[in-house]
Amino acid sequence: MRKFGQNELSSTPLNNADHFFASDSHLSQSTGIFPIMSELTESVLRMIQQLQTLPGIGKKSAERIAYHILKLPKEKALELADAIRDVKENVKYCKNCYNLSEQELCDICRDTSRDQTLLCVVEQPRDLIALEQPGRYRGLYHVLLGRISPIDDIGADDLTIGPLIKRVKQGTFQELIMGTNPTIEGDGTALYITNLLEGVPIRVTRLARGITTGGSIEFANKEMLADAISGRQDFQG
State whether 73 and 146 are in the same domain.
no
pLDDT exceeding 70 applies to what percent of the chain? Answer: 71
Query: Within a domain: residue 37?
Result: yes
Residue 182 belongs to domain with CATH number: 3.40.1360.10
Instruction: Tell me which residue of 72, 4, 64 sits closest to 32, measured CA to CA.
Output: 4
Q: For residues 128 and 122, is the Cβ–Cβ distance under 8 A? A: yes
pLDDT in tens, 188-220: 999 999 999 999 999 999 887 655 555 566 666
State whether 168 and 211 are in the same domain.
yes
Backbone dihedral angles phi then psi of residue 161, each to the nearest 5 degrees: -70, -40
Q: Does the pTM of the predicted model rise above 0.85?
A: no
8 confidence band (pLDDT: 50, 70, 90) = very low
**226, containing H or E segment:** helix 222-230
Number of domains the chain contains: 2
State whether 22 and 117 are in the same domain.
no
> Amino acid identity, residue 211?
I
Query: Within a domain: residue 15?
Result: yes
Q: Which domain holds residue 175?
A: 104-234
Query: Within a domain: residue 160?
Result: yes
Query: Within a domain: residue 94?
Result: no
What was the pLDDT predicted at 237? 59
Q: How far apart are CA 193 and CA 148, in angstroms?
A: 10
> Amino acid identity, residue 54?
L
State whether 74 and 174 are in the same domain.
no
pLDDT in tens, 114-152: 999 999 999 999 999 999 988 889 999 999 999 999 999
Q: For residues 109 and 99, is the Cβ–Cβ distance under 8 A? A: yes
Query: Within a domain: residue 1?
Result: no
State whether 214 and 143 are in the same domain.
yes
Which of 28, 56, 89 is a domain's end point?
89
> Amino acid identity, residue 122?
V
State whether 145 and 80 are in the same domain.
no
Query: Within a domain: residue 59?
Result: yes
State whether 44 and 71 are in the same domain.
yes
Which of 34, 61, 89 is a domain's end point?
89
pLDDT in tens, 79-89: 999 999 999 99
State whether 73 and 167 are in the same domain.
no
**122, containing H or E segment:** strand 118-122
Residue 14 belongs to domain with CATH number: 1.10.8.420
State whether 134 and 48 are in the same domain.
no
Contacts of 126 (CB under 8 A, 6+ apart): 218
Alpha helix segments (H runs only) across 17-160 = 24-28, 42-51, 59-71, 74-90, 107-110, 125-132
State whether 173 and 227 are in the same domain.
yes
State whether 120 and 222 are in the same domain.
yes
Q: How far apart are CA 39 and CA 225, in angstroms?
A: 50
Q: Strands 92-93 and 100-101: what pairing?
A: antiparallel
In terms of C-beta distances under 8 Å and separation of at least 24 residues, what long-range contacts does 217-223 make, across chains too?
217/122, 217/123, 217/127, 217/130, 217/131, 217/179, 217/181, 218/124, 218/126, 218/127, 218/129, 218/130, 219/130, 220/130, 222/133, 222/134, 223/134
